[in-house]
Chain A
C-alpha cells in the first residue's frame, strides 16, 4: 500500500515543480516607458481604428452614462472605439496592469484608468505609467500650467504621466430637518456627533471617503491643515497621529451602532443616510447629491455643510499604462475628454456635475460662456463656494500610514 501511494506523490511533486519553475522565469520586466510620439498628427493617424479600454469606478451611474453617451460618440469621430470597463475600486484596474506586467505582456488590455492619489503613486513606483505624453495633447493648452492641483497628485509629481480629467471637493451634507442648527467646523461636527449618539458615522478606511475624512480630522485635531506637513515623515506621523486616533476612539461610542462596526464604503454610508439612520453623509463627488435628492433617495432637506476650516480638494486624472496596446487611441480619448466641449458637458449637473480642470479665466469668450451658462443646483453650491478655504491633499504616503493606524488604533481597540 505505502509504496503505491508514494509513487504518485513523487509524480505530483514533479508535476507541481515544472509550472513553478516556469513561473520563476517570468520576472517583472524593466519598463521605464515614455511616449514614442513627438507629433500629434502621428498620434491621430495611429489612433484611427484602435479600441481603448477605459477602466473606471463603475458605481456612479451619472459617470457611466456620461462616458457611454457623450464621450464615446465624441471619440468615435476620430475612429477610436471607447469601451468602459467598470471596476469596484481603482486598485482593481491597477492590479490588472500589474498582473499583465508581471506576466510580461506588452499588449496590455488596460488603456486608460481614472486614477489619482495613492493608486497613481503606486503605479509610478512600479513604472506602470506611460510618462511625458500629456504635453502632446492640444487640449492641455486650456489648463493653467501653474495650477498646483494639476502639478502634483497627492504630493506625487504628475510629470506628464496622467492627463487631468476633473476636480473634486470633499463635502459633508446633512439633513436640515434633523439638524436645524448645524456645526460650522469639523471639530463642531465631532462634538455634534457626540451630542447625538448613533446619528453619525463614516466609512472605514481604506475606503476612499473614509480615508479622506480621517485626514480631515487629522487637520482639525492638529490645529488646522497648515499644521500637518504635506510631505510624509515618520516623525510627523508619530507626532500628530496619537491625537487623531485618541479623538476618533473617543468619538466611536457615539457613532452609529456605537462604533461597533462601520459602513464599508460611501455607498453604504449613503444608504444609512437615505434610510434616515444617520443625519450626515460625506462624499468626494458632491455633484451626485443633486440627483439623489431629486429622485427621492436622499431627504429633500439635504444641504451641503460649509466648513470654516475648509475641506480638501484634489484633481483626478486619466492614466495611461505603459503596456497599453492602444497608446495613440488612449491619448486621443484623454485629449477629447479635456476639450472645452466635453468639460462643459460633463459639468452640467444633470450630466455628471464634475468640476472642470480647465482655466476658465483664460478661455476665449465663447468657450467661457459655456461654463457661465451652467445651471445652479438647488442642493450643491458652485465650485468657488465649495472650495472656499480648501486645502491640498497630503502626500500619498500619508494615506496608507493613516489608514493602517486607524485599523489598529481605532477599529481594533
Chain B
C-alpha cells in the first residue's frame, strides 16, 4: 500500500507557459547571482581572472595544497554528517512530541522557535563561552581547565558539532511539526483507531509520510554545516581546517596566488554541496510519498 497525498497531473500547454512565466523573474535573478558568483569563482580558480599580471590558464590552484584540501574535505564532511544525524534524530523526536499536543509540547515548540531565531554566530560565541576549557560550565562544575574535555578546539570537533546540532535540530523540529500538522494527523488517528500502538504508528505511518521532509531538512542542514565558516572558525582547531575556513584563510593570504587557490577550495565545497542536493532528490524520488 502506498500513500499519495498529492496527486500529480500534467497541465495544459497554456498552464505550463503561465507557470514558466511566473517563475521566470525569480529563476533569472537566481541564475544571475548564483551563476555569476560560481562563474567568477571558476574563472579565478582557473587563473583566468588575475588581480595583476597576465592570464595563466590552468588547474594549478586545485593542486596547490592537496593534503590540506583532502584533510579539509574529510573534516568538513564528518562534522556536517555528525551534526546532521544528531539534528535529525533530536528534531524529529521533538516534532513528534510537539505534534502530540501532550504536556510540555508548547514549551518545546516555543523553545524550538526561539532557537531558530538565534544567529549561528551568537550561537557559536555562546557555546564557546559555555564549553571552553575555562568556560562557564567547567567553572560552575568546579572542574579545572586541564581536566575539562577539549570541546572547543578538540580533535572530535565537539563544540562545532554541538552548535550545528542544537540550531539545526530546532529547524528540523519546526519543519517536521509543520508536516505532521497536515492531513498526516488523520492517517495517524486512523491507524490509532485500528489499534496500532505508538511505536507502530511512528514506524509505519509518521516516518514514511514525513520522510521527504526529513530528507530535505537533512540536506539543508548538511549543506549549511558544510559551507558555514564562522562556527568552525570560532570553535574549531587550527588543523585540519574545514573547507570554508581553508578557503577564507587562503583568500586572505598575502600572496597573489592564494586567491585562485581559495576559489578552488570554494568550488570543491560547492561541488560537494551540489552532489548532496542531487543525491537528496534521487532519494526523494524513491520515497513512497513522492511517487
Using CB atoms, name the residue of chain A closest to B133.
A277
Alpha-carbon distance A264/B38, docked complex (angstroms):
29
| A119 pairs with B133, CB closer than 8 A | no
| A125 pairs with B256, CB closer than 8 A | yes
| B252 pairs with A89, CB closer than 8 A | yes
Chain B residues contacting A101 (CB-CB under 8 Å) are 51
Chain A residues contacting B38 (CB-CB under 8 Å) are 16
A19-B35 contact, Cβ under 8 Å, with A27-B49, A98-B259: yes
Alpha-carbon distance A112/B280, docked complex (angstroms):
48
Q: B39 CB to closest chain A CB, in angstroms?
A: 4
Contact digits for B250-261, partner A, Cβ 8 Å, 1 yes 0 no:
011111100100
| B239 pairs with A275, CB closer than 8 A | no
Q: Does A165 contact B (CB under 8 A)?
A: no
Candidates B36, B42, B50, B254; contact of A28 at CB < 8 Å: B50
Q: How many A-B residue pairs have CB under 8 A?
A: 98
Candidates A102, A206, A261; contact of B237 at CB < 8 Å: A261
Chain A residues contacting B145 (CB-CB under 8 Å) are 275, 277
Q: Does A305 contact B (CB under 8 A)?
A: no
| B51 pairs with A121, CB closer than 8 A | no
Interface set, chain B 254-288, CB cutoff 8 A to A: 254-256, 259
Alpha-carbon distance A264/B236, docked complex (angstroms):
9
Q: B192 CB to closest chain A CB, in angstroms?
A: 39
Alpha-carbon distance A28/B253, docked complex (angstroms):
19
Candidates A24, A91, A407; contact of B48 at CB < 8 Å: A24
Alpha-carbon distance A20/B42, docked complex (angstroms):
9
| A260 pairs with B255, CB closer than 8 A | no
Interface set, chain B 223-255, CB cutoff 8 A to A: 233, 237-240, 249, 251-255
Chain A residues contacting B237 (CB-CB under 8 Å) are 260-261
Q: B255 CB to closest chain A CB, in angstroms?
A: 5
Q: B254 CB to closest chain A CB, in angstroms?
A: 4
Using CB atoms, name the residue of chain A closest to B35.
A16
Chain B residues contacting A262 (CB-CB under 8 Å) are 238
Chain B residues contacting A257 (CB-CB under 8 Å) are 150, 153
Alpha-carbon distance A98/B67, docked complex (angstroms):
28
Alpha-carbon distance A260/B150, docked complex (angstroms):
10
A23-B52 contact, Cβ under 8 Å, with A12-B31, A126-B256: no
Alpha-carbon distance A411/B53, docked complex (angstroms):
33
Q: Does B56 contact A (CB under 8 A)?
A: no
A206-B253 contact, Cβ under 8 Å, with A27-B49, A125-B52: yes
21 contacts between A and B (CB under 8 A): A15-B28, A16-B31, A24-B43, A28-B51, A91-B254, A95-B252, A122-B255, A125-B256, A126-B52, A126-B256, A127-B52, A204-B238, A206-B249, A260-B155, A261-B153, A261-B238, A275-B145, A400-B255, A407-B68, A407-B239, A412-B67
- A24-B49, A28-B51, A206-B253 are known contacts; what are 20 more A-B pairs with Cβ within 8 Å? A15-B28, A15-B31, A15-B32, A16-B35, A16-B39, A19-B35, A20-B42, A23-B36, A26-B49, A28-B53, A92-B252, A102-B51, A122-B254, A122-B256, A261-B238, A262-B238, A264-B238, A277-B145, A407-B239, A412-B240
